[in-house]
Structure 1
């Protein structure tokens, strides 16, 4: 602390942000897209774009869904029914695989997949077979589960990065004494000063959001990061704890073996809506259907409150009698956890608030990206003299430059490639959803390798143009591959498809504008210095060097092929380094 408290916080802010900044950027980018994951999923399933959009009573939808489940999964031990809502006009049914016959031993660690269908709420019939895709769920899961690794490892990595992020935000507030006044100041073409102004502006613009989203992200996985309280209170019985905290996911008694017809779901839905003042269930879980021990669990549809925890009603599946309710009145701790969780996932957000969350997420991406680039710009200016004399950048700076390109340019291009793969891959391709995800990582890996090989200003320009075209041409791709292009959706819907096309078009224009600005403000050597250097070079080759005092050298030699170039007006690059 010899340098003072504020200076120590500046050091902490720099390194806590830099060391995990590349992972944080990927988390912010994919997490921001998750605010519209249902809309993304709908866009990526064009076969469902013609779904019925007129209102159907929730009780009728539940009855039709149950009838369909009786036809396709009557031996299943568990059913799930997702009722239509404002974001998804379709209904979805999911059923667990039937138990394996006695004596048939399944391989250990082999997870049995659930089956699912999307049905028309008006008829209960399955809709046109949609292409296999993870849709927006992949981007949502990636921002906290990553991919190609065990989920528990990924969540620990994400949690550590989020803790670093929280430290970086708090130390940044302490460090920038004039942070709010600097928010209204932007000085373009000033090198490090411009990057710092941009970093401050994007940070302060959505500062409450940044603090909220980082802290609540840790809260969502608090039972994994800090399990000691529950372990002590429940003596290690985690199943009982989760059954009390999350009643909708609790298991039920084993099947009795006595087959009893499932009671109609319509009256149960009507009773639940009356109890919840007209709010319908969002999810219905049927445990042990067609058995004497069957139970039906109805969870209220979200959006009516900020809290993510919704009340639950339990019914006897054989008789339809109400067994009990839970969650109508939560304890202070439960309500706090539910509100913080709800703030993170924005389950309460209206069509007007959700875009605001999305814009704040984009500001978070810009904050992390400008912070990473700012470190590289500052480090180059420390070695300005050595670079001007033809020196090479250090391995550490070159590595950071390459990782910056791999993250800040690689992740957006990977997301765009994911959308392109959805339309270009064959619809009947085996394991199609895995192929889409593979193209996400192929594009990301391609950019990362390029960045590590040649982290130059020219590569930034090329990649920004490529990203802009990749996003901006998605509506054109949609027009050539489906009948629900902007000319149709803007007039007749579905509106989420139109909103998706307009959003990616706006992102494409933003990246193209960034590429144009980078080209426009590309630093150029001064003509007088170039002429002076050429004159001095010609004099040396034409006559022997004088034995008296040598002619003065130019202050800064002009950059040439194979030499580094540094200028305060923009990003510096080391050609050939």
Structure 2
């Protein structure tokens, strides 16, 4: 390919990179931020319920869960138990009542069993689960629509990454050139550095994110194979084995802790979930699934026990190659298998991804302002993008900090408390967006980042004096997860204040008038994207 042809190709990829990154960049930023936070969702579940003691004996929690369910829902159709571990807040249990013919199915209940084996007496909150669900289900809209939006955004992200690699001819050399105080050049250097630093991660997380949504985005193979029978598809993918049939003969349920010990030995790792079908009946069955935290694949092995005798009656056959591959990709995306250090690397790469998206959005305005006939009086479309950047990049972190404060300050017994924590996030984000429309962007950047920094810095201090889970207490008992969250809040608080100070001190440098001889030299005169 000739040099001119190479330049033309790179120019076309630069156009693709720019617009694929911009059109859904604000949604991508929100998905990256909440997805990055979700790597520590179990820790946030605990941090947002500081009244709960840490779990030290998971078997004691499971025994308490069995006692509670036997007393509360002895005749239920099924029980479902999310098994506890030393990293969780306890055991999450729920049940489904027996259906009554001719009546609308009744709703069951849901409760958390704490470390002492009792129903948790703690504030209602969605905790870290909100961030996990938001990064692919969003909020205030049907989940199917949200997944299509997120899937399209992820596809745009993949296009932006691949076209960016082609466009940035000297990307790896530029990674080592981080120039400060150079305006557009500095933004480009920062964008390149975060992109190259986490390039394998960005490619992996985007592609595997699309894999997790493949049935939603590409349903035709499933429809062709299963004739629109969703139950048959899921039965094939997640076989249930021996079915439980109610006999009408009462029979006590065996000790679930004994079943758990046996199942973990047979499955080769710690169990994550347990389901009891027809408890209290002679036909009861107990299903046990291995935890996704113990293996790469999210489609973990399972087995079934007789609930009356405790004997194993079925174990799932090995998965096919397609299912195993998809399960491994989903597992890599979620990172549940990761140990503490690998999870921390996931988190750092996620932060780099957030910076990459944010710097790319800001760089769009920085580059185009220099090309405007009058940079001090930009056109309407430019002003819209500039203010949307402020609303998305400055507003979402403020909303998250507000949600954390709502978790601490809303009355513990407040009705709909968990939903109002989330409402507070969107109210603060909405207020920041309105502010972005009526004030100058630079003033907004400073105000939003500074306020976010102050709120984040104050949270660990509040925890020290008002909760039993302050950083001193958690470090004293060796609870690195909760202490790490408080320390992370301090670090991010300082970072936001530093950014606010830097933006406040920034003074725009008048752009130089550049002359061009012919259009073929345009690419050479502009910095590489």
TM-score (norm 1): 0.83
Give yes or no for the alignment of 1:22 onto 2:1: no
* Cα drift, residue 317 of structure 1: 2.0
Check conservation: 2:394, 2:449, Cα contact below 8 A.
Answer: yes
Counterpart selection for 2:322 from 323, 333, 352:
333
* Cα drift, residue 168 of structure 1: 0.6
Aligned pairs for 1:139-150 within 5 A: 139-150=131-142
* Cα drift, residue 125 of structure 1: 2.6
Give yes or no for the alignment of 1:218 onto 2:210: yes
Q: In structure 2, what is the equivalent of residue 33 of structure 1?
A: 37
Aligned pairs for 1:94-243 within 5 A: 94-96=94-96, 98-99=97-98, 104-105=103-104, 112=107, 114-120=109-115, 123-127=116-120, 129-243=121-235
Check conservation: 2:46, 2:89, Cα contact below 8 A.
Answer: no
* Cα drift, residue 9 of structure 1: 0.7
Q: In structure 1, what is the equivalent of residue 257 of structure 2?
A: 266
Task: Note closer, same or farther for the CA distance 1:145–1:255 as it changes in structure 2 (3 Å cut).
Answer: same
* Cα drift, residue 486 of structure 1: 1.8
Q: In structure 2, what is the equivalent of residue 84 of structure 1?
A: 84
Q: Which runs of 4+ in 1 moved over 6 A?
A: none
Q: Secondary structure at the match of 1:187?
A: coil
Which structure: greater helix fraction? 2
* Cα drift, residue 102 of structure 1: 5.2
Q: In structure 2, what is the equivalent of residue 314 of structure 1?
A: 304
Give yes or no for the alignment of 1:380 onto 2:380: no
* Cα drift, residue 501 of structure 1: 0.6
Q: In structure 2, what is the equivalent of residue 293 of structure 1?
A: 283
* Cα drift, residue 484 of structure 1: 2.3
Check conservation: 2:77, 2:99, Cα contact below 8 A.
Answer: no
Give yes or no for the alignment of 1:473 onto 2:463: no
Q: Over aligned residues, Cα RMSD in angstroms?
A: 2.3
Q: In structure 2, what is the equivalent of residue 51 of structure 1?
A: 54
Q: In structure 2, what is the equivalent of residue 560 of structure 1?
A: none
* Cα drift, residue 257 of structure 1: 3.7
Q: Secondary structure at the match of 2:340?
A: coil
Task: Note closer, same or farther for the CA distance 1:32–1:449 as it changes in structure 2 (3 Å cut).
Answer: same
**How many angstroms apart in 1 are the aligned matches of 2:24 and 2:174?**
25
Alignment length, in residue pairs? 508
* Cα drift, residue 92 of structure 1: 3.0
Q: Secondary structure at the match of 1:233?
A: helix
**How many angstroms apart in 2 are the aligned matches of 1:334 and 1:137?**
26
Unpaired runs of 5+ in structure 2?
514-529
**How many angstroms apart in 1 are the aligned matches of 2:442 and 2:167?**
30
* Cα drift, residue 144 of structure 1: 0.6
Give yes or no for the alignment of 1:72 onto 2:72: yes
TM-score (norm 2): 0.91
Q: In structure 2, what is the equivalent of residue 534 of structure 1?
A: none
For 1:444-477, what per-residue CA distance to the aligned partner results, in whole angstroms no more than 9, with x for missing partners? 0011111122242122112111111111111122
Task: Note closer, same or farther for the CA distance 1:452–1:112 as it changes in structure 2 (3 Å cut).
Answer: farther
**How many angstroms apart in 2 are the aligned matches of 1:180 and 1:251?**
56
For 1:399-436, what per-residue CA distance to the aligned partner results, in whole angstroms no more than 9, with x for missing partners? 00110001101111111001000011111111111111
Check conservation: 1:196, 1:374, Cα contact below 8 A.
Answer: yes
